[in-house]
Each structure stands twice: as C-alpha cells, then as structure tokens.
C-alpha cells in the first residue's frame, strides 16, 4: 500500500514501518527544529532526543485524535515536551561547584543580556548560599517549586517561606531598584 497524507495515521496504528518512514521524512525536519531551539546549548543530545520522539509517536499513535489537532502539531508537541524534559534532566545532572558558576554557567542566560545577568547576580548577592540556589533554580533555570523542594530535600512550605523571606531581603538590601510603595508594604 502506498503511504500518503491521507492514510499514514491509519497505517501507523497498524504498526506499518513504511508509515513511520513517511513521518520521519515529512515531519522530521520541523520536529528537529523545535528540538534544536530548546537544546541549542546541547546539540549532542538533540539527535537522540529526535529519535526518542519518533519512538513516542510509534508507541502512542493511538492517543492521536485528528478531530482535536493536526498531526504536525501533535508531533511538534511531542518534540517540545521531550526536549524540555531532556533539558531539565541535563541541568539536574550538571555539576554545580559554586554559586557564581551557577549564575553564569556556559555564559547562557534567559535574555542573552550580560547586563541582566550581572543585575540578577547583584540582586541575590545578599542571600545565603542555599537561598541563592533556590532563587537561581526557580527564577533563572525555570524549575518548579516541587522540583526544587525534592532536589534540596525540603518541603514545599519551606521553599515558599524561603522565597518570601528572600524577596523581602532583596528589597531591603536593594532599595534603589524598587519603588517606595513596595518598600512601605513590606
């Protein structure tokens, strides 16, 4: 049977390898671009991530519903979430020797602006080392409160308390950066 745009999903559900080849040829490029955008700092992991995406498509094709979305959107979502999970795993496994290297690791930043990097480092300089790690992981690296709590071995409430106290400390030690109304409400 000839694989085309109209029948490849049905053939994938029957575990037809030709249909998978069609998916790789047709959607592989856009999926690779999505992954490369997320894993730009780790190109060695991007190819393996793409392979993982194709395996997920093969294994979970039954969850695809053409009434809810188009296949390319579904495949790109798989690529995006697989790459984000890979990025989180890479960052968790990365050694962190000291706080300064955490802030400027690999010279990467959220904005690509070294002035902002310096500003962030200056803001959190008044915090304890443990609080700096919490702030960096939450507000710089994008971890969730639950992930930080699990990694540090503290409860969510402790993390929220640390954030609240740290925020107040940052405002107190950096009054020039915050408006008068914020300081008066603290």
For position 1, what pLDDT does the model report? 67
For position 114, what pLDDT does the model report? 65
For position 60, what pLDDT does the model report? 94
Residue 97 corresponds to which tokens in the numbers above? 């020797």
Tens digit of pLDDT at every position of the chain (186 positions): 688 888 999 999 999 999 999 999 999 999 999 999 988 888 888 899 999 999 999 999 999 998 888 999 999 999 999 999 998 888 777 654 454 454 444 444 444 556 766 777 788 888 888 888 888 888 877 888 888 888 888 888 989 999 999 888 888 887 776 655 444 444
Residue 147 corresponds to which tokens in the numbers above? 């992930």
Helix, strand and coil percent figures for the chain, each rounded to 5: 75, 0, 25
For position 54, what pLDDT does the model report? 95
Torsion of CA 157, 160, 162, 168, to 10 degrees: -140
Helices (H), the chain: 8-13, 17-38, 43-60, 71-93, 99-103, 114-123, 129-135, 145-152, 156-173, 180-185
Tokens 């109304």 — which residue? Answer: 181
Alpha carbon distance 144, 150 (integer Å): 10
For position 170, what pLDDT does the model report? 85
For the chain, which domains are there? 8-91 (1.10.1740.10), 99-185 (1.10.10.10)
For position 106, what pLDDT does the model report? 41
For position 135, what pLDDT does the model report? 86
Residue 86 corresponds to which tokens in the numbers above? 């890979």
For position 149, what pLDDT does the model report? 87
Q: What is the number of other CB atoms lying within 10 angstroms of the CB of residue 76?
A: 19
Please tell me the pTM assigned to this model: 0.52
For position 123, what pLDDT does the model report? 81
DSSP characters over 129-149: HHHHHHHIIIIIS---HHHHH
């Amino acid at each position: 049977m000839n694989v085309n745009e109209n029948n490849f999903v049905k053939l994938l559900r029957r575990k037809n390898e030709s249909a998978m080849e069609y998916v790789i040829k047709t959607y592989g490029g856009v999926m690779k671009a999505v992954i490369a955008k997320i894993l730009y700092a780790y190109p060695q992991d991007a190819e393996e991530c793409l392979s993982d995406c194709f395996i997920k498509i093969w294994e979970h094709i039954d969850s695809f519903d053409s009434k809810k979305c188009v296949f390319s959107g579904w495949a790109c979502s798989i690529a995006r979430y697989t790459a984000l999970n890979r990025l989180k795993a890479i960052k968790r496994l990365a050694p962190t020797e000291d706080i300064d290297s955490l802030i400027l690791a690999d010279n990467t930043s959220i904005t690509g602006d070294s002035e902002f990097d310096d500003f962030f480092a200056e803001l959190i300089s008044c915090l304890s080392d443990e609080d700096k790690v919490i702030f960096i992981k939450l507000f710089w690296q994008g971890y969730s409160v639950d992930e930080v709590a699990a990694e540090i071995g503290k409860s969510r409430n402790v993390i929220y308390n640390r954030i609240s106290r740290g925020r107040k400390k940052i405002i107190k030690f950096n009054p020039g950066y915050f408006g008068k109304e914020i300081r008066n409400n603290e």
